[in-house]
Amino acid sequence: MEKKPNNNNEAMSQLAIAIPLATSTRSERHTPTANTAVGPDTLLLSRHLEGDDSAFVELFNRHNNRLFAYCLKMVGRSEVAEDLTQELWEKVIRLRQQPKSIENPVGFFLTMARNLSLNHLKASARTSRFDDLPESAHPTDDLRERSEMEEIVVAALATLPMDYREVLILNMYSGYGFDEIAVMLGKSPEAIWKRASRAREKLRAEVVKRMGK
């Protein structure tokens, strides 16, 4: 079970209420057309854009933990990851002011989480802080119980190219399946499976190399 960050669902709902629905005069609505295959997230986002605060809270509850875990593995500090996920959801709220059609909400959220994380890393002049992280998928700042092998695995993970590192983070730490990751990244499940397989091979080789030092 993932540890939830200390974001307050009620506060986020109040934040959504505080931002008014855009007073656009454009005729287009943001509910998908009947002939479009839509998932629950697309419908929830459409409802949110139309002013339904309960839809925003449901989106938050469905995705916040895994987006938090992703940011945590990217930036290495839980307090920073909390700030980034908070900023992400504030951006989602502000979409009401300039609504647009989003067919892949989870991919859209992931792109925001990635950009926010990378911007933070650039701003703080760090390339990675994976060495500060526990290997467990359960987010925590307590590093005292981390084993030597976990130290090696986490350090090795930081050496992988971003596309390989990201797919492992999404699968191993955020808990997304390959089908979900494929939708997020706009790839086929087979392509994601192959990328994950190569990533594990590279990770294994790097771990073996580090163990031999």
Q: What is the pLDDT of residue 178?
A: 87
What is the CA 58 to chain-centroid distance, rounded?
Answer: 16
Q: In this structure, what token pair is assigned to residue 39?
A: 């998932």
CB of 28 closer than 8 Å to CB of 18: no
Q: In this structure, what token pair is assigned to residue 70?
A: 């992703």
Percent of the chain that is helix, strand, coil (3-state, to 5):
65, 0, 35
Q: Which of 66-80, 119-133, 170-184 has the lowest mean pLDDT?
A: 119-133
Q: What is the pLDDT of residue 128?
A: 41
Confidence of residue 168 (pLDDT cuts 50, 70, 90): confident
Mean per-residue pLDDT of the chain: 74
* Residue 23 φ/ψ, nearest 5 degrees: -95, 55
Helix axes 178-185 and 189-211, enclosed angle (nearest 10) = 110
For 70-131, the DSSP string reads HHHHHHS-HHHHHHHHHHHHHHHHHTTTS----S-HHHHHHHHHHHHHHHHHHHTT-S--GG
State the Cα–Cα distance between residues 190 and 11, nearest whole angstrom: 40
Domains identified in the chain and CATH numbers: 7-20+39-127 (1.10.1740.10), 136-213 (1.10.10.10)
Q: In this structure, what token pair is assigned to residue 59?
A: 């989106």
Q: What is the pLDDT of residue 59?
A: 94
Confidence of residue 65 (pLDDT cuts 50, 70, 90): very high
CB of 53 closer than 8 Å to CB of 17: yes
Specify the 3-state DSSP secondary structure of 7: coil
Centre a 10 Å sphere on the Cβ of residue 173 and count the other Cβ atoms it contains: 22
CB of 70 closer than 8 Å to CB of 169: yes
Q: Which of 31-40, 90-99, 100-109, 148-157 has the lowest mean pLDDT?
A: 31-40
Of the chain, the percentage scoring pLDDT greater than 70 comes to 70
Residue 201 predicted with pLDDT over 70: yes
Q: What is the pLDDT of residue 146?
A: 52
Tell me the residue type at 2.
E
Residue 143 predicted with pLDDT over 90: no
Give per-residue pLDDT as tens, 73-109. 888 788 999 999 999 999 999 998 887 788 889 889 9
Better pLDDT: 4 or 139:
4
Q: What is the pLDDT of residue 192?
A: 92
Better pLDDT: 45 or 118:
45
Q: What is the pLDDT of residue 82?
A: 94
